[in-house]
Structure 1
Amino acid sequence: MSHHRKPRTSAVLTQRAVRIGLLAAGAAGLATAVPTVASAAPQHVAVAADQTFSRADFRHHTDTEDSFTVRQFGTVAAATARNQANAVGVGCSVDDHCRSVALSFQIVTLAGDATRLNAVNRGDAVNKHCDGCQTLAGAYQFVVSTPRPLTLDGDTRGKLADIHRRLDDLTRSTAPAADLKTQADNLAAEVNTVLKDAVARAPKGDEKPTVEVHRHLDGWPGH
């Protein structure tokens, strides 16, 4: 397979990133909670799939899980990024309630003048016969598009690692629903700021670099 980019042949390719099906359901693969995953060399096509799953029931009343992944793809012709958080609460009562929390943060960096991007980001919370369940799923996806390859430096990775640690603490906390959602949004805002600062120092090109944030929260206290 040739790694040389083909000339643009249609108006569709005049945009650097074409986002398709942002709210499509489903995700494959389990996330590994590592601060950075970087490709060794530019890939022609890249795929990232991260998922976090939690389940609480009358046997195990509390299950809280989170993931925080960074995927650095370099220059690609096409990319698929899937991020999903699933939380399930089963068979608890008002007097014997359960707590199920799943939070997934996914960061994807990619470069190119006409990259086709399929980004999927979804949070799903389900209560099954569980009047006393506190069930929350939150998916946060950050897509960084630059004309030239961007490598996150040590300072940026350190700031992201600190946010990751605080996400771990938040997920395992007993914070009320409203507070948990607010604090998760605040952490996402910090990630956005860190990435925008990194983009401002990125190699320049004809296209303007962007950071897109996709957020999907579902569940408690909505159930």
Structure 2
Amino acid sequence: MSSHRKPRSSPFNGRAVRTVLLAAGAAGVATAVPAHAATGPARSAAVVSDGVYANANRLHHTQARDSFTIRQFDEVDATSVRNQARAVSMGCSVDDHCRSVALSFQIITVAGDAHHLKAVNVGNAANTYCDGCQTLAGAYQFVVSTPHPLTLDAGARRRLADVHRRLDALTRSTLPATELRERVDALAGEVSGVLQAAVAKTPKTSGASKASGGTEKPGVTLHRRLDGWPGH
């Protein structure tokens, strides 16, 4: 199942580009809003939230969902981003076990030497009266910071789309949770490699940074949270 939600437009310089293909639906919102100071011109802020939730139980023994989101912003003064994956298995047993998988990949690119970033990444799994169940939640948040707005070229987008297809396949697979964790970690490593290669092509400093003697370098930060039980 595929789900696409167009982010709300803004007259400010925040640009949100979302690419979302879900194994079974997840929602997110992106907004760019002005933050007025006591004096001076309006300042822009970007607020982003993405996530996926899977719940397996006696009526639905298997539920597997994933999301893969790319959001790109021009120069903004402040950015608040959140990524969450939650998986729950409830009320099953060793002889009648459940499997719940929730995986969320979020890629954020922000530009500017002086922006303020708040990043939250949450992955949690719960087995409730569910002996022998397999429950896995994985949240992977990639934050790309560059002085100038980053443009992912066609080659980078093709490679990311290929990772996304393989993530979908892994999410729907019947691999044991322990092996699934390893395979998903490997995909996250590929995403980091694609982003690092894209960042390497960008200027290391902006004009303003050079004028002030700044030395900030572009970079990629991965926030990873995995939680769950492999089952028996």
For residue 190 of structure 1, what is the amino acid of its counterpart?
Answer: E
Residue 33 (structure 1) shift? 2.2
Counterpart of 1:28 in structure 2 is none
Supply the distance in 1 between the matched residues of 2:19 and 2:61 (Cα, whole angstroms). 24
Counterpart of 1:196 in structure 2 is 196
Matched, 1:143 2:126: no
For residue 20 of structure 2, what is the amino acid of its counterpart?
Answer: A
Deviation per residue, 1:30-61 (Å, 9 max, x gap): x97249x9999xx8211110010001001110
Counterpart of 2:68 in structure 1 is 68
Counterpart of 1:86 in structure 2 is 86
Q: Which runs of 5+ in 1 are unaligned?
A: 5-30
Matched, 1:216 2:216: no
- Identity between Structure 1 and Structure 2 (%): 62
Counterpart of 2:38 in structure 1 is none
Matched, 1:124 2:124: yes
Matched, 1:33 2:8: no
Supply the distance in 2 between the matched residues of 1:87 and 1:33 (Cα, whole angstroms). 19
Supply the distance in 1 between the matched residues of 2:106 and 2:19 (Cα, whole angstroms). 11
For residue 74 of structure 2, what is the amino acid of its counterpart?
Answer: G
Q: Which runs of at least 4 in structure 1 moved beyond 6 Å after TM superposition?
A: 37-40
Residues 177/142 of structure 1: CA separation in 2 closer, same or farther (3 Å cut) = same
Deviation per residue, 1:5-45 (Å, 9 max, x gap): xxxxxxxxxxxxxxxxxxxxxxxxxx97249x9999xx821
Equivalent residues of 2:125, 2:227 under 8 A apart? yes
Higher relative contact order (CA 8 A, sep 6+): 1
Q: State how many pairs are aligned.
A: 193
For residue 212 of structure 1, what is the amino acid of its counterpart?
Answer: T
For residue 221 of structure 1, what is the amino acid of its counterpart?
Answer: P
Equivalent residues of 2:55, 2:87 under 8 A apart? yes
What is the CA RMSD across the aligned residues, in angstroms?
2.6
Supply the distance in 1 between the matched residues of 2:201 and 2:66 (Cα, whole angstroms). 29
